[in-house]
Amino acid sequence: MFNTKNIFAKIMSETSKQHSRRRLWFLLPIILLIAVAVLPTPHVRIKTEKRSDLERQLNCSGTLKDGYYWHWDLTGLSWLRIRIVVNIESTEDIIVYIKSVEGIVCNERGRVHHYTLYASGPSLYVKVENPTIFGLGPSAVISGDIKIYHDYETQVTYVEWLPWWMP
């Protein structure tokens, strides 16, 4: 005897499978289109970065007798703008004197010297002086340093992963 329920179930099962396959073939191009639309590709970019190179570090730690000074004749510095960072402390008033090719950059007197200056290279004259009358004043105990940087900008290339259609 024929079991109409089983035959009907088989027909429905086959129809359901065919319907699922058609739906899959219909959705497959849409899924591929979406995947291609957001598929990341490499984009080469160029950006400008600020850089800073330490060119010289002048140690200013020690004892400086009255009327004496330390000095540095610096050459071979960058021709471009340089940054001078002064961080010096002393037990007595001292003079920090800095001269560039443009002229006097600094001529400050005091016990605490914390500042940043800008000048042009390629040479600097730096002097740290205990300005008392020679032989009559106290010695200055000094600690700190003077750092000279070359600040510049450079272009850097990098890769950014974006969808293919983005610029």
- Would you state the pLDDT for residue 2? 54
E-strand ranges in the chain read: 40-59, 62-64, 69-74, 81-100, 103-120, 124-129, 140-163
Q: What is the pLDDT along the chain (167 residues), one digit of tens a residue?
A: 455 556 555 555 656 556 666 666 777 777 777 776 677 888 899 999 999 999 999 999 999 998 899 999 999 888 878 999 999 999 999 999 999 998 999 999 999 999 999 998 799 999 999 987 766 788 999 999 999 999 899 999 999 888 777 77
Global pTM exceeds 0.75: no
DSSP structural state of residue 9: H
Is the separation of the CB atoms in 136 and 66 below 8 Å?
yes
* Residue 98, both tokens: 């800095």
Q: Which fold has domain 48-155?
A: Jelly Rolls (2.60.120)
**What is the rounded CA–CA span in Å between residue 87 and residue 60?**
9
Residue 164 phi, psi dihedral angles, 5° rounding: -60, -30
- Would you state the pLDDT for residue 6? 63
SS3 call for 144: strand
- Would you state the pLDDT for residue 86? 97
- Would you state the pLDDT for residue 142? 96
